[in-house]
Chain A
Amino acid sequence: MTVANTGAIAGDVSVPDELANNVFITNIAKLLDPVYNWSRRNSIWPVTFGLACCAIEMICTASSRFDLARFGMEVFRATPRQADLMIISGTVTKKMVPTIVRLYNQMPEPRYVLSMGACASGGGPFKEGYNVVDGIDKFLPVDVYVPGCPPTPQALINGLIALQEKIDQQSISTAPWYDKKDPTAGLYPVPVLGPDLVDVRQLDIIRQEATRYTPENPVRAAEAEPTEPPDVEDAPKTVEPQ
């Protein structure tokens, strides 16, 4: 463990040249950060939360051969209130996503989300299905994505190490979870189940679409108004990968 920025001089304090070798100026955050991050990164407790196939690989990762205990992560908590990390291990379905968001809301800060496998990241092979959410990042902030279908235990550990590296970058002074101004800041809106999954953040758009969709005019909204931005079926657009 190294203490970051030893001897770094803060901009607003001027030190005479002759004292520069003897004075050590820092702030509490910089002193505490390494300890703070070191202790957090080595005791990430995940929620016991398995969704699908990836959950099996997650359990394999935690069991005898790959042994998450080496990273201090073996304590799978059955309640989100004691957990730091949520491994979204598998396909997120529309029926399940309200529960997942509710669980995430119950987790205390600092909390992390690791999206394990293709399904959790982007819908995976089941993306086209009517009951599948294409990516949990539509509803929750995801910290690390681990691709694969399913990722092998080693790939998952690789993702967890990536998460540890991310934690190392954080600082106690800028950590958003000590900011107490807005008590609802960490609450993510829970989607509701209607005729389809209803994202409450998008109620206006949905309301608009629903009124347009009348029994007298059962044509799809997108087909009825060609002036609208073309729909996926009509004209696929490009997403140029960066």
Chain B
Amino acid sequence: MYGLGIIKGMGVVLRHFVRSYVDDVKWVNKGGRYYNDEALLVRQGPKGEGIKTVFYPEEKLPMPERFRFVPFLVTDEPPPGQRWGHDWCTSCGICAKVCPPQCIWIERGKQPNGRPKPEPEKFFIDIDICMNCGYCAEFCPFDAIKMDHDYELASYDRRTAHIHDKERLSKPISYWREIAPKKAEAEELARQMAEAAKAKKKDKDGDGREQRISEAVARQLYYQGLQY
């Protein structure tokens, strides 16, 4: 029948329209439907109904822990008065080797006698090349490079703003714990277990079985840890 299609279409639009008002009423006593973190989560979740608009920038979708944008370098807690502490990075170069578009440049630190120092002298990431794949964070054996959640990086000039140097990249571990608490905790645990296993290995070199188990557990945990 001609015209039925239009009526049906209008019906669907109307249904969605009415639903957001029904939803409005539900939230009226709980701080409102908009600009309310709790309501946002429900509205954007699988049970959300009606208009689902995220009113960015006033309200922002929470990023999941695994969310990846450009990488950053993890450092120790900064001593008072400074912005970052000791680098976790040992300039082993695995991230530079594994990076698919090759956007990482590392200059390895040198000791006065010319031997390599486990610390990067310079560290650059060209975020105009970075493809946010997360391989650097995934393969780093020291948990020293992580994917940031900060996506608000719009700039007016790419020549100065888009090469991130070590200063720009370094962020204290507390920042990582803040944006990805579960993941950071699991990594912490895995590191401790791996260290304990190593210590045990040094203690009694002959008894390999126990050590192998704890290593396996550590590895398992490491990958369970990667879940977050």
Residue contact B158 to A145, C-beta cutoff 8 Å:
yes
Residue contact A144 to B127, C-beta cutoff 8 Å:
no
Given A66-B54, A70-B55, A161-B57, also A123-B128 (CB < 8 A): yes
Residues of chain A with a CB closer than 8 A to B61's CB: 154
Residues of chain B with a CB closer than 8 A to A157's CB: 56-57
Q: Does A102 contact B (CB under 8 A)?
A: no
Given A137-B158, A162-B156, A241-B160, also A148-B132 (CB < 8 A): yes
Residue contact B154 to A122, C-beta cutoff 8 Å:
no
Residues of chain B with a CB closer than 8 A to A162's CB: 154-156
Q: Does B153 contact A (CB under 8 A)?
A: yes
**Which of B72-80, B161-169, B172-180 lies at the interface?**
B161-169
Q: How far is the CA of A164 from the CA of B129 in the complex (A)?
A: 26
Q: A119's closest neighbor in chain B, by CB?
A: B128
Question: B148 CB to closest chain A CB, in angstroms?
Answer: 11
List which A114-142 residues lie within 8 A (CB) of chain B.
Answer: 115, 118, 121-128, 135, 137, 142
Residues of chain A with a CB closer than 8 A to B157's CB: 145
Residue contact B154 to A146, C-beta cutoff 8 Å:
yes
Q: Does A152 contact B (CB under 8 A)?
A: yes
Q: Which of B54, B56, B153 has the most CB of A within 10 A?
A: B56
Question: A172 CB to closest chain B CB, in angstroms?
Answer: 21
Q: Does B152 contact A (CB under 8 A)?
A: yes
Given A125-B101, A161-B57, A241-B124, also A143-B154 (CB < 8 A): no
Q: A158's closest neighbor in chain B, by CB?
A: B152
Q: How far is the CA of A151 from the CA of B152 in the complex (A)?
A: 9
Q: Which of A135, A158, A159, A241 has the most CB of B within 10 A?
A: A241
Q: Does A78 contact B (CB under 8 A)?
A: no
Could you tell me how many residues of chain A have their Cβ less than 8 Å away from some Cβ of chain B?
39
Residue contact B131 to A125, C-beta cutoff 8 Å:
yes
Residue contact B163 to A239, C-beta cutoff 8 Å:
yes
Q: Does B2 contact A (CB under 8 A)?
A: no
Q: Does B60 contact A (CB under 8 A)?
A: yes
Identify A121's interface contact among B55, B102, B128, B160, CB under 8 A. B128
Q: Does A166 contact B (CB under 8 A)?
A: yes
Residues of chain A with a CB closer than 8 A to B168's CB: 241
Given A145-B156, A155-B153, A158-B152, also A118-B128 (CB < 8 A): yes
Q: Does A65 contact B (CB under 8 A)?
A: yes
Q: How far is the CA of A149 from the CA of B161 in the complex (A)?
A: 16
Question: B42 CB to closest chain A CB, in angstroms?
Answer: 15
Question: B106 CB to closest chain A CB, in angstroms?
Answer: 14
Q: How far is the CA of A23 from the CA of B52 in the complex (A)?
A: 51
Q: How far is the CA of A151 from the CA of B163 in the complex (A)?
A: 17
Identify A149's interface contact among B44, B130, B160, CB under 8 A. B130
Q: Does A14 contact B (CB under 8 A)?
A: no
Residues of chain A with a CB closer than 8 A to B160's CB: 241-242
Given A65-B53, A66-B54, also A147-B156 (CB < 8 A): no
Q: B153's closest neighbor in chain A, by CB?
A: A147
1/0 per residue, CB under 8 A from A, across B162-199: the answer is 11110010000000000000000000000000000000
Q: A162's closest neighbor in chain B, by CB?
A: B154
Residue contact A124 to B151, C-beta cutoff 8 Å:
no
Q: Does A227 contact B (CB under 8 A)?
A: no
Residue contact B130 to A118, C-beta cutoff 8 Å:
yes
Contacts beyond the supplied A158-B154, A166-B156: 10 A-B pairs with Cβ under 8 Å: A65-B53, A122-B128, A125-B129, A125-B130, A145-B156, A154-B61, A154-B152, A155-B153, A158-B152, A162-B154
Report the 3 A-B pairs with minimum CB-CB distance, sorted nearest first: A122-B128, A125-B101, A159-B154
Q: What are 14 A-B pairs with beta-carbon distances under 8 A?
A: A66-B53, A118-B130, A121-B158, A124-B101, A124-B129, A125-B101, A128-B101, A145-B156, A145-B162, A146-B154, A147-B155, A148-B69, A159-B154, A162-B156
Q: Give me the interface of A with B, judged by CB distance under 8 Å.
A: 64-67, 70, 115, 118, 121-128, 135, 137, 142-149, 151-155, 157-159, 161-162, 166, 239, 241-242
